[in-house]
Structure 1
Amino acid sequence: MTERTLVSETTVEASLGEPEVVGPNPPKEIQGRSPGQLAWIRLKRDRTAWVTGGIILLMLVAAYGAPVLAQLYGTDALEQYPELLDGRGIPLGFAGIDGNHWLGVTPVIGQDVLMQLLYGIRTSVSIAIVSAIAVTAFGTIIGAIAGYRGGKVDAVISWVVDLMLSFPFLIFALATVPIITNLILGGPATRPLWLSASMLLIVFLLFSWTGAARLVRGQVLSLREREFVEAARASGAGMWHIIFKQILPNTWAPILVSFSLTVPSLVASQAYLAFLGVGIGNPHPDLGRLVADSVGSMQLINGWFLLSVSGGTIFLLVLTFNLFGDSVRDALNPRSTK
């Protein structure tokens, strides 16, 4: 047997023997990820989300930890310091700033500005988040019913939405909230904070649900004729089962984006109403009322400083929430950045 024959037989035996090992590190299995996991990965890579999320977290920790910080700081939001005011109620020195009051005191009353800001952030954000949850939930249900039922139901709900969008929210709030406050709730000085917050929640719910309703209606219109909905309908499932179990789970991304953008809008609306004297009344701290207090002393540097601090806080809150909401939208819909 020649050498060439031996080599060919050896090659044949090797090919019929054990499988060939490609390398020391075999290829790894491809792991699938859900849309939520992919969105979370994109959100973690977004620098804007990291910066704005960190600022929001820092402000919320400081605001909701205000009672603990007040004990360390040595004063509370409702404590008054008339000795730091002159005869006209204007803070002494530069806005009343000293070693005990890092941002000075408010005009007329003489309350610590830093504590007013922290408690005001907590009040504004709490009302905005609770109201946004209620507004988004109500608008989602109404929009889902309109989109699924169609016909006359859709026409009536769409007409109501158009009517509410054309109604002047600010005029309604300025006209009705003081009446409710004075005739039913007993005036701004005697109502508790939760009652004032409930009043604002009702006002926001009446006028702010339309955006979520129109968004969800459009999503449901595109989903109600899909195969999985037809299969659920053919199996005898009812309307509520199809809406809550089949359709709405597939619309969670736009609903989440709508919620994230509703929060800063309600923060700004609550500040507008407080600035105009409607909303959270004394003695509860409020960012909008701090801006209103600074207007009375605008001719002095004290007023400009208080306006810059309080207005800047509202601006930072609204800006960071809006930018974070945009990052959430881009993470859930990467095509929106193209």
Structure 2
Amino acid sequence: MQTQPSSQPNNLSVNPMKQEKPETLLSITFRKFIKNKLAVVGAIILFIIITLALLAPWVTPFEPQKQSLLNKLQTPGGEHILGTDRFGRDVLTRLLYGARISLLVGFASVAGSVTIGTFVGAVAGYFGGKIDAFLMRVVDVIISIPTIFLLITLVTIFNPGVDKLILIFALTGWTGTARLVRGEFLSLRSREFVLASKTIGTRSHTIIFSHILPNAMGPIIVAATLGVGGVILAESALSYLGLGIQQPTPSWGNMLQDAQNFTIMLKHWWYPLFPGLMILITVVCFNFVGDGLRDALDPKSIE
């Protein structure tokens, strides 16, 4: 007796429902970051500033150090979009080339200080005991010295320059990162994955840099982002005081210092206005991005 084929569809031939892939940590962080509108706006503005600074030779036809006394203190408009300074140099050109200096000092200094602070904090937090006590006392001594006076003293001893400023900021700005990383390591060193690594005989430096440190990168990234804005502000302050980047090399700080004459500031408003705005906008944008990253990297934050 022959069996007739069943009229019901074969369930095996139906395409199974596609299972959604679990989100990666990077995608979750990005999704949470873009919900912070101020952080997104800050990131876009910073991208524009950095891009214009890198493309400065193609954006503006003028040289940042070339003087033209016949064109000094021209109002914004025409050939000189943001006007000229008291030596006839194009303000927009000097702003873009000054951005190179300020951003270089900011990023390089923070990279150095974060590296030092991460190493010191990791060693102190992981080993604890006398090592922790000694390293934290060193941190306390450095923190107890007023930063601005320490910077002025060091810059006065060593001739001002981009390389020396980067070195000074890196050697004086690592204490906050060290404390932050130490706190993270103190909370992570007793976790199960660390205890398991110790049990199987994994070396300490492998546990520190391969197991614990990746789990502490969130706060370090946030601290680095916020630190860039602080370094740019400090460099501008030193340059304004004549202790930072020296003329004729442009930086936002020494552009303000060059325009500090009251008569110039009163009659030629664009001269001090634009470098001041660049410092303000850049520092605020870095703070916005840092706040956005802090919320995005916080596992307890509400999505």
For normalisation by structure 1, the TM-score amounts to: 0.81
Aligned equivalent of 1:34: 24
Given that residues 237 and 253 in structure 2 are in contact (C-alpha distance below 8 angstroms), is that contact kept between their aligned partners in structure 1?
yes
Mean Cα displacement is larger for which, 209-218 or 37-46? 37-46
Q: Tell me the C-alpha RMSD between the 2 structures.
A: 2.4
Structure 2: how far apart are the matches of 1:331 and 1:167? 34
- TM-superposition CA deviations, 1:140-180 (whole Å, max 9, x none): 11000000010111111111111111111211222231231
Specify the SS of the correspondent of 1:104: coil
Aligned equivalent of 2:197: 232
Structure 2: how far apart are the matches of 1:302 and 1:173? 33
Mean Cα displacement is larger for which, 171-180 or 147-156? 171-180
Aligned equivalent of 2:154: 176
Match of 2:178 among 194, 201, 213: 213
Is 1:77 aligned to residue 64 of structure 2? yes
Structure 2: how far apart are the matches of 1:171 and 1:130? 22
Aligned equivalent of 1:57: 47
Aligned equivalent of 1:138: 116
Match of 1:112 among 90, 104, 124: 90
Question: Which ranges in structure 2 are unaligned for 5 or more consecutive residues?
Answer: 1-5
Is 1:270 aligned to residue 235 of structure 2? yes
Q: CA deviation at 1:276?
A: 0.7
Structure 1: how far apart are the matches of 2:10 and 2:218? 47
* Cα 1:46/1:219, change in 2 over 3 Å: same
Q: CA deviation at 1:20?
A: 6.5
* Cα 1:337/1:292, change in 2 over 3 Å: farther
Structure 1: how far apart are the matches of 2:301 and 2:272? 37
Given that residues 94 and 251 in structure 2 are in contact (C-alpha distance below 8 angstroms), is that contact kept between their aligned partners in structure 1?
yes
- TM-superposition CA deviations, 1:189-239 (whole Å, max 9, x none): xxxxxxx22201121122210111111100000111111111211222222
Aligned equivalent of 1:158: 136
Mean Cα displacement is larger for which, 37-46 or 283-292? 37-46
Specify the SS of the correspondent of 2:250: coil
How many aligned residue pairs are there? 298
Structure 2: how far apart are the matches of 1:319 and 1:99? 30
Given that residues 75 and 268 in structure 2 are in contact (C-alpha distance below 8 angstroms), is that contact kept between their aligned partners in structure 1?
no
* Cα 1:306/1:112, change in 2 over 3 Å: same
- TM-superposition CA deviations, 1:78-102 (whole Å, max 9, x none): 11111134xxxxx2xxx44452212
Aligned equivalent of 1:3: none
- TM-superposition CA deviations, 1:255-300 (whole Å, max 9, x none): 1111111111111111111111111112211100111111114465
Given that residues 235 and 244 in structure 2 are in contact (C-alpha distance below 8 angstroms), is that contact kept between their aligned partners in structure 1?
yes
Given that residues 146 and 157 in structure 1 are in contact (C-alpha distance below 8 angstroms), is that contact kept between their aligned partners in structure 2?
yes
Is 1:313 aligned to residue 278 of structure 2? yes
Specify the SS of the correspondent of 2:300: helix
Question: Which ranges in structure 1 are unaligned for 5 or more consecutive residues?
Answer: 1-13, 86-90, 182-187, 189-195
Which protein is bigger by CA-based radius of gyration? Answer: 1
- TM-superposition CA deviations, 1:2-61 (whole Å, max 9, x none): xxxxxxxxxxxx9xx98769xx88543142223222112222343223221111111111
* Cα 1:169/1:298, change in 2 over 3 Å: farther
Given that residues 103 and 112 in structure 1 are in contact (C-alpha distance below 8 angstroms), is that contact kept between their aligned partners in structure 2?
yes
